[in-house]
Amino acid sequence: MTLIADLTAALGAAHVITGADLARYTADVTHHYHSDPIAAVRPADTAEVAQVMQIAARHGVAVLPASGRTGLTGGLMTVGGLILSVERLNTIRQINPAARLAIVEAGVVLDSLHKAAEAEDLYFPLWFGARGSAMIGGVLSTNAGGSNVLRYGSTRALCLGLEVVLADGRILNLMSALHKDNSGYDLKQLFIGAEGTLGVITAAVMKLVPRPRAYATATLSARSLPDALILLNRLQAASGGAVEAFEYMPASYMAQMARARPDIRQPFSPAAEVTILVELGSLRPDDTTPKADGSLPLTGLLETTLAQMMAEGMVQDAEIAQTEAQRAAMWQRRELASEVMTSRQPTIDTDICLPTDLVAPFLDRISTRLPQLDAGAETILVAHLGDGNVHFTVYPSNPSAAHADRIIEAVEDEVQALGGSFSAEHGVGLSKLASMKRRKDPVALDVMRAIKAALDPDNRMNPGKVIPAP
Please tell me the distance from the alpha carbon of residue 405 to that of residue 252, in angstroms, as a whole number.
23
Residues 14, 17, 23, CA angle at the centre, nearest 5°? 135
Q: If the chain, 470 residues long, is cut into consecutive pieces of 10 residues, what is the mean pLDDT of each piece? A: 94 95 83 88 98 98 91 84 97 98 97 96 90 92 91 95 98 96 95 97 97 94 96 94 96 94 93 95 81 81 94 95 94 92 90 96 96 95 96 95 95 96 91 93 97 98 95
- 320 to 80, 239, 270, 299, 327: CA distances (angstroms): 53, 16, 18, 8, 8
Please tell me the distance from the alpha carbon of residue 345 to that of residue 254, in angstroms, as a whole number.
17
Please tell me the distance from the alpha carbon of residue 46 to that of residue 86, in angstroms, as a whole number.
10
278, 309 contact by CB (below 8 A): no
Hey, what CATH topology would domain 3-85 get?
3.30.43
Residue 266's CB is within 10 A of a number of other CB atoms, namely: 15
345-427 and 214-337 share a CATH fold: yes
Please tell me the distance from the alpha carbon of residue 356 to that of residue 19, in angstroms, as a whole number.
48
Ramachandran quadrant class, 100 (left: phi over 0; alpha: psi -120 to 50; beta: rest): left
Residue-level pLDDT at 10: 96
Nearest to 462 by CA among 201, 110, 185: 201
pTM of the full predicted structure? Answer: 0.93
138, 150 contact by CB (below 8 A): no
Domain boundaries, the chain: 3-85, 95-210, 214-337, 345-427
Residue 8's CB is within 10 A of a number of other CB atoms, namely: 18
Residue-level pLDDT at 179: 94
Question: Span 214-337: which CATH code?
Answer: 3.30.70.2190
Please give the backbone phi and psi of residue 372, each rounded to the nearest 5 degrees, phi first. -70, -25
Cis omega before residue 270 (within 30°)? yes
The CATH number of 345-427 is which of 3.30.1310.10, 3.30.360.10, 3.30.70.270, 3.30.70.2740? 3.30.70.2740
Please tell me the distance from the alpha carbon of residue 405 to that of residue 289, in angstroms, as a whole number.
54
Please tell me the distance from the alpha carbon of residue 306 to that of residue 135, in angstroms, as a whole number.
37
Nearest to 164 by CA among 189, 199, 116, 129: 199
Please tell me the distance from the alpha carbon of residue 274 to that of residue 247, in angstroms, as a whole number.
10
Residues paired with residue 164 on neighbouring β-strands, in sequence order? 172, 201
Q: Which residues are CB-contacts of 40 (< 8 A; sequence separation ≥ 6)? A: 16, 17, 18, 22, 25, 66, 82, 83, 84, 85
Question: Span 95-210: which CATH code?
Answer: 3.30.465.10
Residue-level pLDDT at 129: 78
How many CA atoms are closer than 13 Å to the CA of 260, on its beta-carbon side?
A: 17
Residue-level pLDDT at 71: 82
